[in-house]
């Protein structure tokens, strides 16, 4: 089923017979895990490791990324999300160059810093040949101009964007007023200005949509991450989603579950910002796990489909997970393993930002956009191997439960405490901690699980075994703060022999 859809998409591109886009749907994306890269920072064409100033282009390309797909696929990821591909303003601004891709000035041309059209097609083909999917980051909220708002040269944009009428007049966003969030400008002082497109205007909106449909068809793109979605009116988002015809996950940066939930419906999915806030607080030990549990329950009840949300620990806009000191709970691999385990087994699609597996620890933008090549792409890194295990366990658990069940059943919280929590997903009971390596771990009593008295359980992380005492009750022994992923021992052979 998956395979035949994918072939159709490719055949459509080659023969031109299929006008509508056939790539992956939300239901298909729920089964995937996503690896996010900034193209400029991931790999150079000839795999050299140039030194560079963090605000300049550093030399990463689509060809370089294609050459490093083994590195990504060997961690078990099914999809790669790349930074925007369209042409950007190409000047050294106060904030540096547009290496991240979010300062587009021509939706009809590619950003030559990353390679040619053939290179991007080649990357897409290489991913598909591996059975992997391509997600591309797209911006329809604004174009950029390295000027003050009053000095924008509208004539420099391609039609129909070459007139002030294609844009809203400049005004300062009032974040408590949604109309202002949609109509005013995200101005990066003093420049570049992010010139706010009038994307409620059907001519402008259709031109933007067609530029994205063209990208999707030309490069057989399987999914889209839509930047600054909360700055675009919801009816325009709905039309965008319908016309592009592939899975879209939209960025609505806000902590509130009801606020972000409004974007699912117009779009297939939203970047799960409410969960991110709770994840950071819980795994840093700033709050008990009750908070995390309450956010997940609220999401499962409020979003039309929490399984389609894209969940993350960090990204290009937020400090890296390893940059947090952990408020006394320790800043270490064990803490990160626990958070990653949660990410892979809570309701939703896991997204890992490149470099997490090497424990990159850059804080706020731009130092969270490190060049990947400084790591040497070390496949012995502990988190590299742990993510591989998580990807494999997630797929295995889904195959035991049945995919239909696994990717539609809510995560069940068995208990949430100060430093431990237990949750159930498919055939697994997962016990997590936020103690890291610095605070003594303790045994944890799990109650009311799906297991029966007498069952023998194996932890797929350590391969330790325990027996279930009472109906559903067992002790998950301390293990230096490491996560435990319990499954009935009869199923453990794949990971523990
Ligand atoms: C690698 O590519 C860069 C940029 O195109 C070039 O300057 C450099 O000479 C190349 N190095 C090698 C070893 O091929
Ligand atoms: C861009 O400007 C910054 C700050 O002035 C400077 O450090 C950097 O070298 C410039 N980049 C290039 C490629 O000239
Ligand atoms: C979240 O949305 C609410 C309602 O629009 C707004 O008041 C608040 O400022 C937003 N929060 C952030 C972090 O933007
Ligand atoms: C909200 O923002 C819109 C667009 O800028 C503006 O026209 C309107 O007056 C604002 N409403 C309030 C209550 O400030
Ligand atoms: C790769 O990572 C492993 C495990 O952390 C470490 O022992 C090894 O030295 C690293 N290799 C390189 C070349 O840095
Ligand atoms: C599980 O049950 C035991 C025995 O009744 C109790 O001491 C423990 O607090 C319970 N654990 C949780 C997390 O509720």
Reading the block at residue 344, the tokens are 């892979």
pLDDT at 5: 32
Confidence at 15, pLDDT banded by 50, 70, 90: very low
CATH 3.60.15.10 fits 413-494, yes or no: no
CATH 3.20.20.80 residue ranges for the chain: 2-141+202-408
pLDDT at 8: 34
Residue 454 zone, left/alpha/beta (φ > 0; ψ -120 to 50; rest): left
Kindly give the distance from the C-alpha atom of residue 367 to the centroid of ligand 6, in angstroms, as a whole number: 44
pLDDT at 373: 98
Name the H helices within 323-465: 333-345, 382-401, 403-406
Q: Is 28 a catalytic residue?
A: no
Catalytic residue among 119, 137, 182, 227: 227
Q: Is-contact 258 250, C-beta < 8 A?
A: no
Mean pLDDT of 421-449: 95
Q: pLDDT by residue (tens digit) across 359-391?
A: 999 999 999 999 999 999 999 999 999 999 999
Confidence at 24, pLDDT banded by 50, 70, 90: confident
Nearest bound ligand to the CA of residue 380: 5
Instruction: Tell me if 445 CB under 6 Å of ligand 6.
Output: yes
Name which of 91, 105, 242 is nearest 166 in CA terms.
105
List pocket residues of ligand 2, CB cut-off 6 Å.
Answer: 53, 56, 92
Cis before 488? omega within 30: no
Helix 289-302, helix 273-283: angle, nearest 10: 170
List pocket residues of ligand 1, CB cut-off 6 Å.
Answer: 46, 48
Confidence at 4, pLDDT banded by 50, 70, 90: very low
Residue 21 has pLDDT above 50, yes or no: no
pLDDT at 285: 87
CATH 2.60.40.1180 residue ranges for the chain: 413-494
Nearest bound ligand to the CA of residue 180: 4
Residue 18 has pLDDT above 60, yes or no: no
Q: Is-contact 174 231, C-beta < 8 A?
A: no
Q: pLDDT by residue (tens digit) across 466-476?
A: 999 998 999 99
Catalytic residue among 251, 293, 299, 357: 251
CATH number at 2-141+202-408: 3.20.20.80
Residue 20 has pLDDT above 60, yes or no: no
Reading the block at residue 349, the tokens are 């699609």
Kindly give the distance from the C-alpha atom of residue 415 to the centroid of ligand 6, in angstroms, as a whole number: 9
pLDDT at 7: 31
Nearest bound ligand to the CA of residue 470: 6
Pocket test for ligand 6, best of 416, 445, 448, 473 (most atoms within 8 A of CB): 445
- Nearest residue (CA) to ligand 6, atom 6: 445
Mean pLDDT of 281-300: 95
Kindly give the distance from the C-alpha atom of residue 375 to the centroid of ligand 5, in angstroms, as a whole number: 9
Q: pLDDT by residue (tens digit) across 394-409?
A: 999 999 999 999 999 9
pLDDT at 329: 67
Mean pLDDT of 120-130: 98
Q: What are phi and psi of 284, to 5 degrees?
A: -85, -5
User: Please, what is the average pLDDT of the chain?
Assistant: 94
- Nearest residue (CA) to ligand 4, atom 6: 180
Q: Is 151 a catalytic residue?
A: no
pLDDT at 2: 30
Kindly give the distance from the C-alpha atom of residue 258 to the centroid of ligand 3, in angstroms, as a whole number: 11
Q: What is the pTM of this model?
A: 0.94
Residue 22 has pLDDT above 90, yes or no: no
pLDDT at 1: 26
Confidence at 480, pLDDT banded by 50, 70, 90: very high
- Nearest residue (CA) to ligand 2, atom 3: 96
Cis before 366? omega within 30: yes
Residue 121: count of CB within 10 angstroms of its CB? 15
Q: Which residues sit opposite 485 in a β-bridge?
A: 430
Kindly give the distance from the C-alpha atom of residue 179 to the centroid of ligand 4, in angstroms, as a whole number: 6
Q: In what order do the strands lie in the sheet with 186-187?
A: 142-145, 193-196, 186-187
Q: pLDDT by residue (tens digit) across 131-164?
A: 999 999 999 999 999 999 999 999 999 999 999 9
pLDDT at 315: 98
pLDDT at 327: 64
Mean pLDDT of 458-462: 98
Give the total residue count for the chain.
Answer: 497
Reading the block at residue 382, the tokens are 């502990």
Count Cα atoms within 13 angstroms, Cβ side, for 205: 18
Q: pLDDT by residue (tens digit) across 78-108?
A: 999 999 999 999 999 999 999 999 999 999 9
Least confident of 52-66, 166-180, 319-333: 319-333
């Amino acid at each position: 089923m998956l395979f035949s859809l994918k072939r159709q998409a490719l055949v459509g591109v080659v023969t031109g017979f299929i006008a509508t886009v056939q790539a992956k749907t939300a239901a298909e994306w729920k089964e995937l895990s996503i690896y996010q890269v900034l193209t400029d920072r991931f790999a150079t064409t000839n795999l050299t490791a140039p030194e560079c100033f963090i605000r300049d282009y550093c030399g990463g390309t689509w060809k370089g990324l294609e050459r490093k797909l083994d590195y990504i696929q060997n961690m078990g990821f099914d999809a790669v999300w790349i930074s925007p591909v369209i042409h950007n303003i190409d000047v050294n601004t106060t904030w540096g160059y547009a290496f991240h891709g979010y300062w587009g000035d021509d939706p009809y041309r590619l950003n030559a810093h990353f390679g040619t059209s053939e290179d991007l097609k080649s990357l897409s083909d290489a991913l598909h040949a591996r059975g992997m999917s391509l997600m591309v980051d797209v911006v329809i909220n604004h174009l950029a101009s390295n000027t003050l708002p009053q000095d924008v040269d509208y004539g420099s944009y391609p039609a129909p964007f070459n007139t002030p009428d294609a844009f809203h007049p400049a005004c300062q966003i009032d974040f408590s007023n949604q109309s202002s969030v949609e109509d005013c400008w995200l101005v990066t002082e003093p420049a570049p200005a992010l010139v706010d497109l009038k994307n409620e205007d059907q001519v402008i909106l259709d031109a933007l949509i067609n530029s994205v449909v063209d990208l999707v068809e030309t490069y057989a793109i399987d999914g889209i991450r839509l930047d600054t979605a909360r700055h675009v009116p919801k009816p325009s988002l709905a039309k965008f989603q319908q016309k592009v015809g592939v899975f879209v996950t939209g960025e609505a940066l806000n902590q509130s579950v009801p606020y972000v939930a409004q974007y699912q419906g117009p779009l297939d999915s939203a970047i799960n910002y409410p969960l991110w806030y709770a994840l950071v607080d819980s795994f840093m030990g700033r709050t008990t796990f009750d908070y995390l549990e309450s956010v997940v329950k609220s999401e499962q009840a409020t979003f039309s489909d929490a399984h389609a949300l894209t969940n993350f620990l960090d990204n290009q806009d937020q400090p890296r997970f390893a940059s947090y000191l952990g408020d006394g709970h320790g800043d270490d691999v064990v803490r990160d393993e626990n958070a990653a385990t949660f990410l892979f087994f809570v309701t939703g699609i896991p997204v890992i930002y490149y470099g997490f597996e090497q424990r990159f620890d850059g804080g706020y933008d731009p130092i969270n956009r490190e060049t990947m090549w400084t790591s040497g792409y070390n496949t012995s890194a502990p988190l590299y191997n742990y993510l591989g295990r998580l990807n494999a366990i997630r797929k295995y658990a889904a195959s035991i439960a049945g995919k239909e069940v696994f990717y539609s059943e809510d995560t069940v919280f068995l208990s949430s405490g100060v430093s431990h929590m237990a949750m159930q997903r498919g055939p697994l009971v997962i016990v997590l901690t936020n103690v890291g390596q610095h605070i003594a771990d303790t045994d944890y009593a799990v109650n009311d699980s799906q297991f029966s008295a007498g069952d023998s359980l194996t932890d797929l992380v350590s391969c330790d075994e325990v027996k279930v005492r009472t109906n559903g009750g067992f002790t998950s022994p301390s293990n230096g703060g490491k996560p435990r992923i319990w499954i009935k021992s009869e199923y453990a052979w794949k990971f523990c022999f």
